[in-house]
Structure 1
Amino acid sequence: MYKQIQLQIKPKYVNKYRGGYPLILKEAIQNINELKEEGTIVNLVDGKNTFIAKGYYGKQNKGYGWILSRSEKEQIGQKFFEKKLEEAIELREPFYRNTETTAFRVFNGEGDGVGGITIEFFDGYYLINWYSKGIYEFRDDIINALQSVVDFKGIYQKKRFDTKGQYIDEDDFVMGERGHFPIIVKENGANFAVYLNESAMVGVFLDQRDVRKTIRDKYSQGKSVINTFSYTGAFSVFAALGGAVKTTSVDLANRSRSKTVEQFSINEIDYEAQDIIVEDVFNYFKYAVRKNLKFDMVILDPPSFARSKKYVFSAEKDYKNLMKEAIAITEDNGIIIASTNASSFGMSKFKGFIETAFKESNSRYTLLEEFTLPEDFRTIKEFPEGNYLKVVFIRKNK
């Protein structure tokens, strides 16, 4: 049994929680001093001690925990998590049947009813991501629940929390058979090499699946493409598979080169015919302008926050200026794919950054299409910030 306490919610937040909002905000709690141990079950009540919802205490960058149930009598344990997992897996049934895509998200935190945890499927292997010490206190019940509702080759985990908010490096294997890495998974027929046993990131961000497919199927044929903040080159691979004449991948991390070479190679693409550049993207933009380099397609997918020796980048403050840099190296009638995973602003504000950047660059543009999270990254309308991904395809007009 987990320890339980009562949390009184300040009056101005009561209706928010009655309306289905799932994140327990620090500023909403009246008796915050009673929160001691992460993983404690919390019963939210109003000023008259009337029950509102049941959740758990777990600090992460977003708040102080998550709502789990609207039922006062709900018991939080293995059976509860089994029910949530079964509902989530049933919704992903079409993904399990798709032989062309063998990597997807099985459980998407608050979108599937339990904030602070995600679970992904990689060709028979499951990866659990824990985002707070609080949710990690439920690990035995959650792992046992997963074990009881799915067949698996192996289960791995990533603890994405510590006192500094950094990844804790340790053996990520949980149970089953250990993988022989890389595991080669498919995405819309293309191959990706993934490592469930290396650092916090596995080698591909699954939330960009629909964007990559669109790049390959509609926009790449005969184009010169630059992929900035390229990580392991996933966008570059799909551009090359779509008939791009050449791709240029730019990322500051030293590992990006070998990882990108690997992704090209497993898709039988000659990586020596592509440019893979390890350099600060901000410096590369300036170099490209000096050399008058221009591209038919510019892919701009920076992290929401990044720091290099010379620059600190915040998407909310700096995306407009980064967009201007991209505009400067895009051919007339070329395509810019502007993307951000910053959850602190919505699509309309993001489009505002784009509009301002083009205006200040004395350029005109046409919005072609836009994307948010794919179907397996389930979200709920009561928590719009959970739908964090914003991607816009833009044509730079003559």
Structure 2
Amino acid sequence: MSTIVDLKVKMDHINQYENGYPLISKDSILNANDLTNEGTIVHLHSQNGQFIAKGYYGKQNKGLGWVLTQKKGVKIDFTFFRDKILTAINKRQAFYKDETTNAFRVFNGEGDGIGGLTIDYFDGFYLITWYSEGIYTFKDKVIRVLDELGDYKGIYEKKRFDTKGTYIDDDDFVKGERGEFPIIVQENGMNYAVYLNDGAMVGIFLDQRDVRKVIRDTYAEGKNVLNTFSYTGAFSVAAALGGSKKTTSVDLAKRSKSKTIEQFSVNGIDYEQQDIIVMDVFDYFKYAKRKELTFDLVILDPPSFARSKKHTFSTAKDYPALIKDCLEITEKNGVIIASTNNATFGMKKFKKFAEKAFKETNTAYKIVEEFSLPADFQVNRNFPQGNYLKVLVLKKLN
């Protein structure tokens, strides 16, 4: 797009952009009302006209768009996209060569230099997620880069244009061959069924790869495992493959049961030997206490915000209460794997949530290990919110 809109940056935000902060936020811009067409290239200037950075206008829940370069002379053209995507792919060569894993992130938004865009790889298929109408205007350039690389089976896309991050239901197929779904992908030798053509989510969260591996390799053997907010049961599969005595998967969504059965089945696990329960997790905690059920390993990976008929849950407010609930059904020396993808707070605050829960229940504990995003989820060090994943392995000591 040939039009360039000059945006005036407020005085107290100039330093952060000069230091490489990538998100163009509404509160940092004086003349945000000058923005009309998404996809427009923008120049950030100080109020006395000094150039700071160049980016694009694309509204999403995080802001007005993203900085792409601090060099005025750089054109946001096909060459720009090719250089960024090729650099990202070169960094992932170890993943392409890994014989036990064929599902991973190829391009991670601002972490790889273009906010609002992610590209995932699933056994020869690329899945592009566009987070605004603005980034979607560059679609032809991104597809052309993948075409130049070649050697793919097909390309699918997800549009999450709504400023609340809502998925836009559309035909997800872009080009190449259509997949026969589910595609069975491998992750550290485990099998997972994924659907690139069936709504916003594909059936597995790639950012939890390291956590699934450590559950299988370190924490599951001989254990009675509870997986809450279990989605398609990916953690339960890892636990079962790690030799758990039994897994119990609990999720409110009706389709979680059939999806979890499918994930067990593609790994040759007899799902009838596992418990798969469709129930509000908070109701299940009450049920488990009533029945005096206890677990050696409890996995907590709630959505940032959830609402059911009886409960409203927000990780930012309610996580300590969630840990307290599960402490009552966790055995002595049992392990709680607590996870959140809420980007509004960091690991330090998350550790405080855990501390609060254990302190209020007079329970001793130790943090055994912690995880953040895996290596393929490249993070921009000037944008801490981008490193959203926080996982704590907590051992209950009494």
Give the TM-score normalised by the residue count of structure 2. Answer: 0.99
CA contact (8 A) 1:223 1:296 kept: yes
Taking the aligned partners of 1:123 and 1:267, their CA distance within structure 2 comes to: 17
Per the alignment, residue 344 of structure 1 pairs with 344
Per the alignment, residue 95 of structure 1 pairs with 95
Per the alignment, residue 127 of structure 1 pairs with 127
Per the alignment, residue 8 of structure 2 pairs with 8
Per the alignment, residue 175 of structure 1 pairs with 175
CA contact (8 A) 2:60 2:164 kept: no
Shift of 1:351: 0.4
Per the alignment, residue 384 of structure 2 pairs with 384
Taking the aligned partners of 1:33 and 1:342, their CA distance within structure 2 comes to: 29
CA contact (8 A) 2:131 2:165 kept: no
Taking the aligned partners of 2:68 and 2:2, their CA distance within structure 1 comes to: 14
Structure 2 unaligned regions, length at least 5:
none
Taking the aligned partners of 1:339 and 1:304, their CA distance within structure 2 comes to: 10
Give the TM-score normalised by the residue count of structure 1. Answer: 0.99
Does 2:70 match 1:105? no
Shift of 1:142: 1.5
Shift of 1:151: 2.0
Taking the aligned partners of 1:96 and 1:39, their CA distance within structure 2 comes to: 32
Does 2:281 match 1:281? yes
Residues 2 and 142 of structure 1, relative CA distance in 2, 3 Å threshold: farther
Residues 70 and 149 of structure 1, relative CA distance in 2, 3 Å threshold: farther
Deviations 1:109-155 (A, max 9, x none): 00000000100000000000011111111111111122223421000
Between 162-171 and 121-130, report the one with greater CA deviation: 162-171
CA contact (8 A) 1:347 1:390 kept: yes
Taking the aligned partners of 2:59 and 2:75, their CA distance within structure 1 comes to: 22
CA contact (8 A) 1:116 1:135 kept: yes
3-state DSSP class of the match of 2:23? coil
Taking the aligned partners of 1:178 and 1:258, their CA distance within structure 2 comes to: 23
Pairs within 5 Å for 1:285-364: 285-364=285-364
CA contact (8 A) 1:184 1:194 kept: yes
Per the alignment, residue 152 of structure 2 pairs with 152
Taking the aligned partners of 1:163 and 1:300, their CA distance within structure 2 comes to: 27
Between 197-206 and 286-295, report the one with greater CA deviation: 286-295
Taking the aligned partners of 1:176 and 1:212, their CA distance within structure 2 comes to: 31
Per the alignment, residue 260 of structure 2 pairs with 260
Taking the aligned partners of 2:157 and 2:380, their CA distance within structure 1 comes to: 25
Taking the aligned partners of 2:369 and 2:275, their CA distance within structure 1 comes to: 28
Shift of 1:4: 1.3
Taking the aligned partners of 1:318 and 1:175, their CA distance within structure 2 comes to: 43
Q: Percent identity over the alignment? A: 64
Runs of 4 or more consecutive aligned structure 1 residues displaced over 6 Å after TM superposition: none
Does 2:213 match 1:213? yes
Residues 245 and 381 of structure 1, relative CA distance in 2, 3 Å threshold: same
Residues 165 and 112 of structure 1, relative CA distance in 2, 3 Å threshold: closer
CA contact (8 A) 1:82 1:148 kept: no
3-state DSSP class of the match of 1:44? strand
CA contact (8 A) 1:264 1:270 kept: yes
Per the alignment, residue 140 of structure 1 pairs with 140
Per the alignment, residue 53 of structure 1 pairs with 53
Taking the aligned partners of 2:234 and 2:164, their CA distance within structure 1 comes to: 29
Residues 163 and 215 of structure 1, relative CA distance in 2, 3 Å threshold: closer
Taking the aligned partners of 1:3 and 1:316, their CA distance within structure 2 comes to: 41
Shift of 1:164: 5.7
CA contact (8 A) 2:59 2:163 kept: no
CA contact (8 A) 2:304 2:341 kept: yes
Taking the aligned partners of 1:129 and 1:82, their CA distance within structure 2 comes to: 17
Q: CA RMSD in A?
A: 0.9
Residues 337 and 163 of structure 1, relative CA distance in 2, 3 Å threshold: closer
Per the alignment, residue 37 of structure 2 pairs with 37
Deviations 1:149-193 (A, max 9, x none): 342100000001236642111110000000000001000001000
Taking the aligned partners of 1:239 and 1:379, their CA distance within structure 2 comes to: 28
3-state DSSP class of the match of 2:167? coil
3-state DSSP class of the match of 2:258? helix
Taking the aligned partners of 1:265 and 1:271, their CA distance within structure 2 comes to: 7
The number of residues matched between the two structures is: 398
Per the alignment, residue 229 of structure 2 pairs with 229
Q: Which amino acid aligns with 1:338?
A: A
CA contact (8 A) 2:60 2:163 kept: no
